[in-house]
Chain A
Amino acid sequence: MSPVCPLLLLILAQLAVAAQPEPVTTILERVATAAKQVGALRVTFQQEKHLAILDEPLITTGSIEIDRVNGLLRWQYDRGPVLILAAGRVKRWGADGKAESAGDDPALQAMAGQMKALTSGDWKPLQELFTMEVGHGPDHLLLRPRGVGMTAYIEYVEIAFRTDGSPNTLVLAAPGGDRTTYTFAMPDPAWKPDPSRFAGP
């Protein structure tokens, strides 16, 4: 064997290590650390639903307001419903401002976990329901359901984070081609939380 070969192998190995994606724990820790720097923020988003049973996508916009100090989140669709996460529970108001029961809606419960993660910046608790791996980019977190039950309704959730730890996009994919994509604008860290915004519409 030529003496060049071991050297080549060594270089290739080095390259392989350099190209290896960021481990999940590193992403989670970086996101959590970044979240701790910001006590409150407001971010606008666009939601694009591509459903297999519809020809056209359903596009809506909205905003998310987070008070990390008090563990509060307001998720509002423009001219649409308002969801408020407080004390670990999600309350819902319809577009008409009327409070609606949200207690036993499994879909809302599924989203509640992600809302809590957004609020705290700690995505680790989601590991109870999902396996986590690095997604299609170095800052992409790919979540797949652990249980056989959920796989019928959720194929995967992929979150792409910015370098500052804030989410850039979130994709919720279901078997059969249903896909909802959130694209988040840059957060407004100067935003000051107003307690009344987390009490109701």
Chain B
Amino acid sequence: MVKSSAIVAAIIALVALAVTGVARLDSDLTGMIPAADVPLAREARFFSGMGAIRVLMVEAEVTSPSADPRTTLQSIVTRLAPLGAHPARDNGIEGVAHTMQVVAAHLPEFLTAEDLAETEAGMSAEALSQRLKDLRERLQRPDDWLTATAARQDVLSLTARVLQHFSVGPVGARPDGAFFTMPDGQHMVLRLDVDFPPDDVGRGQPLLAALKQEASIAASHGVHLRWAGSYRHYVENADTIQSDLMATIPLEVLLVGLVIWTLVRSWRAMLVIHLPVVGSVVGAMAGACVWSLVTGRPVPMAMIGATAGILGIAVDYGAHAVVGAQEGRRCVKQLLLGFLTTGAAFICLFFSLVPALQCLGAMVVTGLGTALLSTMLVPGGRIPPPRREPVWNRIGASTNRLLQRQRRSCLLIATIMTLATLPGLWRLHFESDIKTFDGSTAQAWDDLEVIIQRWGTPDSSTFIVAHGDSPDAALAAAAATRARLGLGPGLLERLVPDLAEQARRREAWNVFWTRHADFPAKFAEACRSNGLRPEAFAPSLAAYHVVTQSRDPITPESWTGSPISAALTPLLHRDGTGWIAASPLPLSGQAALDLMERLPGDSPGWIANRTDLGKRIVSAVQHDLTSLIPMIVAAVVIVMTLAVRAWRPAVAMLLPPALALVWAFGIQGWMGLPLTPFSLLAVTFVLGIGIDSAVFLNAGSWSMSAILVAWLTTLLGTATLLLANHPVVWSLGVSLSIGMTAAFVATLLVTPALSRPAASPAPPA
């Protein structure tokens, strides 16, 4: 009674922890970054704070002379607005007018020395007279409604001089309302800001579906549509994975079920075999939760993939436990040994500097531990043996006989295979192109390339980042870093110059107007000579004069209510420690990397480069994992040696998984398949099942049928992944299929050959 209560309590506690673990899942990239890699962690934190780029670019290309791309794009604006996508450029007249008002109120602070130098050329009496002559001519246009009003307020167009720097549209393109048009007139682009992040696939799917429908309609009107942005990649990846799962899971379940049925031939046994499976998933998530609570970090979302490997090993445990129970054996010792060796390997991950790998270690240890405990619940006497001897027993027996007879040949074959696959290891390389992990369509990448080539990147991926106790301190540090790199002011520095720079500009402004103290007189004369009334320009003359340094400076708040405000917020924001200024750089890829190289070490700011971040994270994780391999090998050898206390069985059990890894990766090397974090994940599977098979085979030939079935079910499960279209799922299928087959063959060839003959214990009476 007490025992049952304890088991129920343990199950409830595990389920509660697992549910909490699921609730603590997070896709934050910082969980994938080694704690010691401070710059990389800082960069990931920065981009995490900035949020994903919420931009969707839609290009309309004219394919028929009568086509009207503007109408097509206008229709898209209307169609997508209820779905959360809106034109990014607020060119509404109120937005433009508001922006002009902010600039006009702070002309001395916005105009740079270069701007004033350019203005200087128009300050002569002749130049002023020509300007007013042009103005008068312009006023003759009957459809000109606002020029006269605007000219009275700023006759030298200083506001326009400042505003020209705020244009962030594609180079060479002409703004046209919410759109940009190329000079060829054949291409227009619409930049949409989306209300939700790209990983909200549930909202992204209808958005993309609507775009697809609009593309069909547009095609019939002679307009070809292309669109690009993270939203497309997220949705297409989700769609691909969904269709892959639909294509593989039913087939996998059917095949695996059939094979297990041929082994146990009992519904009760079929159910019982899955006890460790359920236990492993609950245990893995509970382990992730405990790790999360201890470290205070969220559970990295990517680690959920590890449950597939844990699940496979748990099926292996279940098959051995049930077959043993049917034969009246208890195989706790073998299961425990398998768990201890696999667990020892993964406990080493606790020493990893990558939080996600630590979490993986916790998940595997607790997941397999729970699976092992679940096998204890298998009711030995209540699972009847199959009425007819399973075909696997006969296959197992004949395989055993063959292996026992051909021990030397087996070892020879294993040696030949090792020698043949070893050179493949030197051909192995880590995948450096992160694009290959993406399951988007080729069309998505083609469209992205065309759009980037024609219009530039959808948004800045590279920033100069600077921190400060106040917005001004952060801005000053960013500006200083730009100066160190020989770069002029960027959009951020133009929108909100730091206070010292504003003071310098006021000084330059005052020098300028002191030098042009005769401007009112000269201007009045120019007005009279052109038949204009000088007194009507009083607002301009009131603005063009020397100012005091105590004026209100430009601050982020100056832009409140204008369309600039929304663009400014991510560029100047607070985090837990202070203010962050992010000055966008119009660079990406290699150019951004080159600039990072050039940045002096003592610069107050640093460079964040989003395009390269994924690649560097993968590289850091791989480096960390590689550095742990000696420790993992040592741990497994020590546990095995301590457990069996004899070198021959220890080697018989350890050599097969080791050889399996060499063969698997060697074959991958020969096949030209690169290593990925996902193929490294497959190692967990290969190691776990390889060790289990070797442990059981070393215990005796009685478990051969379970080993055969465990291998076949796993192989069928992983081979169905080869039907997948998603590159990650497919590469996992390839790695697992090769690895599992290698583990199975290595176990068959090596373990019986090195084990003592007739190690099989007699079944109890």
Using a CB–CB cutoff of 8 Å, the interface residues on chain A facing chain B are 47, 49, 51-55, 58, 60, 62, 75, 77, 80-81, 83, 87-89, 92, 101, 103-104, 106-111, 129, 145-150, 152-153, 172, 174-178, 180
A74 to B153, alpha carbons, bound, how many Å?
A: 32
Which residue, of B68, B142, B147, B562, has the highest number of chain A Cβ atoms within 10 A? Answer: B142
CA distance A152 to B105 in the complex (A): 12
Cα–Cα, bound, A149→B92 (Å): 11
A149 and B562 CA atoms in complex are apart in Å by 9
Tell me, yes or no, whether B70 is within 8 Å of chain A by CB. yes
In whole angstroms, what is the CA distance A106 to B152 when docked? 17
Q: Mark out the residues of chain B between 721 and 742 whose CB falls within 8 Å of any chain A CB in the assembled complex.
A: none
Q: How far is the CB of B176 from chain A (nearest CB, A)?
A: 4
User: Is the CB–CB distance between A89 and B148 below 8 Å?
Assistant: no
Smallest beta-carbon distance A61→chain B, Å: 9
- Give the complex CA separation of A109 and B177 in angstroms: 9
The yes or no answer to B74 lying at the interface (CB within 8 A) is yes
Q: Is the CB of A172 within 8 A of B94?
A: no
Which residue on B lies nearest to A60, using beta carbons? B142
A147 to chain B, nearest CB (A): 4
Q: Is the CB of A176 within 8 A of B149?
A: yes
Q: A52-B148, A55-B531, A174-B146 are in contact. Are A147 and B70 (CB under 8 A)?
A: no
In the complex, residue of chain B having the shortest beta-carbon distance to the beta carbon of A55: B533
* Min distance, Cβ B155 to any Cβ of chain A, angstroms: 9
Contact of B142 among A47, A51, A146 (CB under 8 A): A47
Partner of A152, one of B97, B147, B527, B531: B97
Residue in chain B with minimal CB distance to A145: B94
Given contacts A81-B141, A89-B70, list 15 more A-B pairs with CB under 8 A. Answer: A49-B142, A51-B536, A55-B531, A58-B140, A62-B142, A87-B70, A87-B74, A103-B177, A107-B145, A110-B93, A149-B97, A150-B97, A153-B150, A174-B149, A178-B152
Contact A176 B539 (CB under 8 A): yes
Question: Given A53, A88, A172, which contacts B536 in the complex, CB threshold below 8 Å?
Answer: A53
Cβ of A107: which chain B residues have Cβ within 8 Å of it?
144-147
Q: What is the CB-to-nearest-CB distance from B20 to chain A, in angstroms, rounded to a whole number?
A: 49
Q: Does the CB pair B94–A146 fall under 8 Å?
A: yes
Q: In the complex the two chains form, what is the Cα distance from A104 to B175 in whole Å?
A: 6
Which residues of B300-350 have CB atoms within 8 Å of chain A's CB atoms?
none
Whether B50 sits at the interface, judged by CB under 8 Å, is no
* B142–A103 CB distance below 8 A: no
Over the window 537-569 of chain B, the binary record of Cβ atoms lying under 8 Å from chain A Cβ atoms (1 yes, 0 no) is 101000000000000000000000110000000
Chain A residues near B99 (CB-CB < 8 A) = 149
Say yes or no: A129 contacts B93, CB within 8 Å: yes
Interface bin, chain B: 35 or more
Q: Report whether B149 and A103 are in contact in the complex, using a CB–CB cutoff of 8 Å.
A: no
Residues of B within 8 A of A58 (CB): 139-140, 142
**Residue in B91, B97, B149, B177 whose beta carbon sits within 8 Å of that of A147 in the complex:** B97
A89: B residues at CB distance < 8 A: 70, 177
Question: Is B146 a contact partner of A81 (Cβ separation < 8 A)?
Answer: no
Closest to B175 in A: A104
- Report the separation of the CA atoms of residues A178 and B151 in the bound assembly, to the nearest whole angstrom: 12
Nearest CB of chain A from residue B142's CB, rounded to whole Å: 4
Whole-angstrom distance from the CB of A75 to the nearest CB of chain B?
8
Contacts of B532 in A (CB 8 A): 53-54
Chain A residues within an 8 Å CB radius of B144: 107
Question: Total A-B pairs in contact (CB under 8 Å)?
Answer: 128
Q: Which of B93, B139, B527 contacts A150 (CB 8 A)?
A: B93
Does B253 make an interface contact (CB < 8 A)?
Answer: no
Cα of A88 to Cα of B562 in the assembled complex, Å: 25
Cβ-neighbour of A148 out of B71, B141, B177, B561 (below 8 A)? B561
* B152 surroundings in chain A (CB, below 8 A): 52-53, 176, 178
**Is B95 an interface position by the 8 A CB rule?**
yes
With CB as the reference atom, state the residue of chain A lying closest to B75: A87
Q: Are B101 and A152 in contact (CB under 8 A)?
A: yes
Q: Is B597 part of the contact surface with A, judged by Cβ < 8 Å?
A: no
Cα–Cα distance between A81 and B142 once the two chains are bound (Å)? 8
Tell me if B713 is interfacial: C-beta within 8 Å of chain A.
no
User: Does B100 sit within 8 A of A, measured CB to CB?
Assistant: yes
A50 nearest CB neighbor, chain B only: B148
Q: With contacts A107-B146, A111-B145 known, is A153 near B174, CB below 8 A?
A: no
- A95 and chain B: residue at smallest CB distance: B141
Interchain Cβ contacts under 8 Å between A and B, 7 examples = A54-B148, A58-B140, A87-B71, A89-B177, A103-B177, A172-B145, A176-B536
The answer on a CB contact under 8 Å between A52 and B146 is: no
Partner of A178, one of B148, B176, B562: B148
Contact A149 B151 (CB under 8 A): no
- Chain B residues closer than 8 Å to A111, beta-carbon distance: 143, 145
CB-based contact B95/A149 at 8 Å: yes
Residue pair A51, B94 in contact (C-beta under 8 Å): no
A103 → B minimal CB distance (Å): 4
Is the Cβ of B533 less than 8 Å from the Cβ of A129? no
* Given contacts A104-B177, A106-B96, A110-B145, A51 and B139 within 8 Å (CB-CB): yes
Contact of A51 (CB < 8 Å), options: B68, B70, B148, B562: B148
The CA of A32 and the CA of B104, in the complex, are separated in Å by 39
A155 to B74 CA separation, bound complex (whole angstroms): 30
Most buried by A among B181, B536, B537: B536
Beta-carbon nearest neighbor of A173 in chain B: B149
Could you say which residues of chain B place their CB within 8 Å of the CB of A87? 68, 70-71, 74
* Residue from A60, A81, A129, A150 having most chain B Cβ neighbours under 10 A: A150
